[in-house]
Amino acid sequence: MMENESSQKPDATRPEPATSRLEMAETEVGSVFVSNYPPYSQWSEQDVAAFEKALHTAPQADAPPLGMYLHIPFCRKRCRFCYFRVYTDKNADEVQTYCDALAREVDAYAALPVVQGRPLRFVYFGGGTPSYIAAKHLAELVRRIQAAFSWDQVEEVTFECEPGTLTRPKLENIQALGITRLSLGVEHFNDHILQLNGRAHVSTEIERVLPWIHEIGFEQFNLDLIAGMIGETWETWRDTVEKAIDAAPDSVTIYQLELPFNTRVSKEFLEGTLDVPLADWAQKREWHQYAIERLSEAGYVVSSAYTMVRGDCTFRYRDSLWRGADMMGTGVSSFGHVGGVHAQNTANWSEYLDAVAAGRLPVTRALSTTSHDRLIREFILQMKTGSIDAAYFDEKFGVDVLKHFAAPLADLAGRGMLTVRGDGIDLTRAGLLQADGLLPAFYDAEHQNARYT
Ligand code: SF4
């Protein structure tokens, strides 16, 4: 699935540079997506002890909101462009074993000093494909999570779905479990494009589930699209955008296809065996821009570089993380952040199951952040909303970001990517369409050329 624009990029194997790809025009393998700071390559086993210490420290009175991410690493089929940690070969027993381990990991978190007295504010089931799990196993998993952490004060529970895994009774069960935000990984409506890109679902499955979603009535319905999938043309993209509008979601998340090194498409492209042309970044930005324009005409407004929303639609998971929330990252390869320390679970299936079974933390790398790291992290992530409120950073970190980042801001303003006003920053449309490519300019010098993962 794709909607998780905030923090989870669960495959730790991508050798990517953190340097800016601003104005990158040619088709090129590599990824520009930024989901955290400092770069993952700077995290290490050494800091796992600092994470353990943070978990065993009682929370401060002004502790940030607390959330939970649960990684469900199963898919029916691996997409050609996928770079997530997913499995397509696990049988029902293995899925059940994994769900048991996940519930045990959640139980272990519930006993830690750092979460005592702190209500859970948001929950995110990401993947992979959470809707791959059978309804009865899902109900049991949610029951065990709720036994460990009350959902009384939870403001949002997101659940990612793949259209072909849904039936009407399953959707009704999902809603009855307390899911408030249903995120449907459509990506495209054209069967030829879906098939070329190795998606598991077909358009009739999308069309079948849309009425059910509306009839059952989730608080929020998000639909994901990707601009520039293999085989994309103006005709197919225009048609997909129209069908997305007809589907009447509360929010539409639009990505530009990324090509990290570990995807099938990237390998074929580098080997010269890819049988279809790939859109370059300039073309993908044009398609993204077109979607923003059409969705704006249809009553949606920009909520971030990736998300268009209508009505009073909010995205608490994203907004909480981009403002420094703590999040327990559970499941194989998940990322989390608690008490100022970033951490990632092992990306190895057996290691994960063994650690949880033995009552050990499955974390394999971590990074203890400084206040300055956290300032940069929140600044770059909030840049992805398209604007920065300088007063927020002054109040929280005691830093005037307009002065602190004066040099990169002046450079990017000169390139037409943003404007600096008296009390904040606004990205231009050109800046918004390549927001992630702008962000490394704000990194500390030591991280400017570090690998990203
Ligand atoms: S649906 Fe495709 S892109 Fe999403 S996690 Fe599964 S294999 Fe990867």
Q: Determine if ligand 1 sits within 6 Å of the CB of residue 86.
A: yes
Asked whether residue 84 carries a pLDDT value surpassing 90, the answer given is no
Task: State the pLDDT at residue 27.
Answer: 56
Residue 12 in domain: no
Asked if residue 160 has its Cβ within 6 Å of ligand 1, the reply is no
Ligand 1 pocket member 162 (CB < 6 A): yes
Which residues lie below 8 Å from residue 278, measured CB to CB, with a gap of 6+? 27, 228, 230, 257, 259, 265, 269
Distance 13 CA to ligand 1 centre (A): 16
Q: Is the CB of 1 under 6 A from ligand 1?
A: yes
Which pLDDT does position 450 carry in this prediction? Answer: 72
Please report, for residues 227, 229, 289, the alpha-carbon distance to residue 236 in angstroms, rounded to integers and kept in the order given. 10, 10, 15
Instruction: State whether 211 and 63 are in the same domain.
Output: yes
Ligand 1 atom at shortest distance from the alpha carbon of 127: 5
The backbone region for 278, taken as left when phi is positive above 0, alpha when psi lies in -120 to 50, beta otherwise, is beta
Per residue in 366-410, pLDDT tens? 999 999 999 999 999 999 999 999 999 999 999 999 999 999 999
Are residue 97 and residue 208 in the same domain, yes or no? yes
CATH for 301: 3.80.30.20
In a shared domain, residues 305 and 390: no
452 in any annotated domain: no
Residue 14 has pLDDT above 80, yes or no: no
* 295 & 403 share domain: no
Does the pLDDT of residue 130 top 70, yes or no?
Answer: yes
Same domain, 135 and 220: yes
Is residue 192 situated within a structural domain? yes
**Assigned domain for 97 exists:** yes
What pLDDT does 166 receive? 98
Domain boundary among 321, 346, 380: 321
Last residue of a domain, one of 288, 321, 354: 321
Residue 408's domain comprises: 371-445
Q: Which atom of ligand 1 is closest in space to residue 199's alpha carbon?
A: 2
Amino acid 16: pLDDT = 36
Query: What integer pLDDT is reported at residue 30 of this predicted model?
Result: 65
- Looking at the fold, whether 92 and 160 belong to one and the same domain comes out as yes
Does residue 35 sit within a domain? Answer: no
- Mean pLDDT across the chain: 92
Distance of CA 9 from the midpoint of ligand 1 (Å): 12
pTM for this one? Answer: 0.94
Q: Whose CA is nearest to atom 8 of ligand 1?
A: 82
Average pLDDT over residues 21-39: 69
Query: For the chain, what is the domain count?
Result: 2
Determine the Cα–Cα distance for residues 428 and 69; give it in Å rounded to an integer: 32
Q: Is residue 393 situated within a structural domain?
A: yes
Confidence category of residue 3, pLDDT binned at 50, 70, 90: low
Same domain as 378, residue 281: no
Domain edge (last residue) among 261, 286, 321: 321
